[in-house]
Amino acid sequence: MPSATYAERRSQLQTYFDRTAVEAWARLTSDAPVSRIRATVRAGRDAMRAELLSWLPADLSGRRLLDAGCGTGALSLEAARRGAHVVAIDVSPTLVGLARERSAALALPGRLDFRVGDMLDDSFGRFDHVVAMDSLIHYRSADIVRALAVLGRRTDGSLLFTVAPRTALLTLMHAAGRLFPRGDRAPAIEPVSEGTLRRRIAREEALATFGLRRSRRITSGFYLSNALELARR
């Protein structure tokens, strides 16, 4: 069951992406020119997306995949190109609208179902794979593990997700971010120790049938994120 802190942060994210960051996010996730700093973030996100996709089967025909926090849908499109039936969820109606626009004219071997909602909603059914790229980085480790437990109960294959690693560099970037006017700030990223996360996952009964298979950190300028894979044993 999602906690009160999870629900509060989810609400903040919806407000941010729908009211404050729409134009910036649309540019960041397109080919439009961006600042040097945002270019490093774009490059990092591209590298992370490629990494997560490399952990999935090359042929996803007949597989059902949840893109949990799909944003403007770049990962969803790639999974559908491999033949997957993708249910792509985001809390932001604006981002989901952009995703639908960008995919509308494409002929894909798989299926794309973009929806506005909570990625933890059980009504979306069961999946072979779940990918949560940079959608859990705003949550504390306890909420991350609770979310993984909810998702794990309806995942038959693997859970791929990213967290913000606890590093001196990320702490420095947070300090720099506090210099921006409050209205321009994104909801805070929550740095997480991988060791702490591993211990919490090991204690979570709902994840007892999963094993932590691999971990990969990607750093690109102002982008710093750590990918992990939980796979059914």
**Average confidence (pLDDT) per 10 residues, the chain, 233 residues:** 80 82 88 94 97 98 98 97 98 95 94 97 97 95 97 98 85 56 62 94 98 97 95 96
Quick count: other Cβ atoms within 10 Å of Cβ 99?
24
In 3D, which of 129, 124, 153, 150 has the Cα closest to residue 64?
129
**138: number of CA atoms within 13 Å, CB side?**
19
Contact between 192 and 165 under an 8 Å Cβ cutoff? The reply is yes
Q: What is the pLDDT of residues 69-124, one digit of tens each?
A: 999 999 999 999 999 999 999 999 999 999 999 999 999 999 999 999 999 999 99
